Amino acid sequence: MHRIDAFLELAVQQGGSDLHLVSGQPPRIRIWGDLQPVRFRELSPHDVLEFLTEFMTPVQREALESKTAIDFAYDSPHGRFRVNVYQHAGGLGAAFRAVAGTPPSLESLELPPVVQQVLSVGKGLVLVTGPTGSGKSTTLAAMVDWLNRSRTGHIITIEDPIEYLHDFGRCVVTQREVGTHAPSFAEALHSAVREDPNAILVGEMRDLETIQLALTAAETGILVLGTLHTNGAIRAVDRMVNVFPARKQEQVRTMLADALRMVVSQTLVRRADHSGRLAACEVLLNTSAVSAMIRQGGAHKLSAAIQSGQRVGMQSLDGVLQDLVKRQVITGEEAYEHALDRQLFERYATGEQAA
């Protein structure tokens, strides 16, 4: 057992999602979105170095020296953690994200029923978006779990690092880690389309080549699940197009209009009873009207499409937040904090009670 395991055990016991080690500060645990200090001395650069190098492999230490920051997974006696170790002005720092031992189900995450309906089609591009720490990886793992239990075929996951470990269910599940099993997301995705996949999970879609390969794979009938670090479904569409040079954007809009099936944009909000957090999800479905808007470069019109598409399963983030406040699942102040249009929730920001 390593010394870091005592802090990880404490984080798990307190229901924390993350543990942070930074020289010059005591360890801190993120609990329901807030960083709380641990009753421990301020860590010196030497403390952090010893805590980390005690459990890192020689290969990871060497990579850290050459790259200045690395990602990997760590299996402690208290669970599995996604780890980012980085160099900063004061020495080393690290962030540990707790990952559940088994993938969650779609039902346990309380995701909208339309998510399962879209997955059952089994082809096209499904995007899960949101800021860092909004639970995108957990939602994707639940999607893979549903496919693994409900369909037959070959599922390939490309991650950095591998977070949830999927057993073989009705599917063959192949999990590849960037840096260990492939040099990059693009390289792994390029190989994956030749490996007879029914579904491919792409843990990060940040660069032009990865996005282009994902679109091409989705066009051929493969179900592609991917993430983008954007707030809101509409910005996700813009991001997919704008990563390409102007001369290619018309072609990309056409590809996206044909291949996209759904965008789930989520943020984690704290429950009013302080029992934890839940995902508030905006959902954009690629109906014929939405497809035409994307193809014609009318992404700015998608907000209206979401509002008018509620009967087919679309929902806006602000609409979901309003419903959660009405049902007293979250507070008005929490809704205001996460709303896209804060004017809708201004009365909560000023301390006034909901009507």
pLDDT at 42 (0 to 100):
93
Q: What average pLDDT does this structure show over 184-191?
A: 94
Q: What is the pLDDT averaged over residues 179-195? A: 93
CA-CA distances (angstroms) from residue 26 to 42, 45, 86? 4, 12, 17
Over residues 188-242, the pLDDT tens digits come to: 999 999 999 999 999 999 899 999 999 999 999 999 999 999 988 999 999 999 9
Mean pLDDT, to the nearest integer, of 103-115? Answer: 93
Between CA 352 and CA 267 the distance in angstroms is: 24
In total, the chain counts a number of residues equal to 355
The mean per-residue pLDDT over the stretch 285-305 comes to 94
Task: Tell me: pLDDT of 286 over 90.
Answer: yes
Side-by-side strand order, sheet with 260-270:
171-177, 153-159, 199-202, 223-228, 124-129, 260-270, 277-285
pTM of structure = 0.85
* pLDDT, position 328: 96
pLDDT of residue 354: 44
Closest CA to 283 of 259, 304, 310: 310
91 falls in which pLDDT band (50, 70, 90)? confident
Task: Please determine, for residue 352, whether its predicted confidence score (pLDDT) is greater than 50.
Answer: no
Q: Is the dihedral of CA 173, 179, 185, 187 positive or negative?
A: negative
User: Helix crossing, 208-219 with 185-192: angle to 10°?
Assistant: 20
Average pLDDT of the segment spanning 70-74: 90
Q: Is the pLDDT of residue 288 over 80?
A: yes
C-beta of residue 316 within 8 angstroms of C-beta of residue 282: yes
pLDDT(22) > 80: yes
The mean pLDDT value for 317-323 works out to 96
At residue 243, the pLDDT reads 95
Whether 353 shows a pLDDT value over 60: the answer reads no
Helix (H) or strand (E) holding 29: strand 28-31
Specify the pLDDT at position 260.
98
pLDDT at 355: 43
Q: What is the pLDDT of residue 350?
A: 61
pLDDT at 179 (0 to 100)? 83
Residue range 96-118: average pLDDT?
A: 91
Q: What pLDDT score was predicted for residue 67?
A: 87
Per-residue pLDDT at 351: 53
- Angle at CA 246, nearest 5°, toward 302 and 251? 65
- pLDDT (tens digit per residue) in 133-151: 899 999 999 999 999 999 9
- pLDDT of 105 > 50? The answer is yes
* Nearest-angstrom CA–CA distance, 211 and 222: 14
Q: What is the pLDDT of residue 253?
A: 96
The C-alpha angle 181, 186, 191, rounded to 5 degrees, equals: 60
What does pLDDT average to over the chain?
93
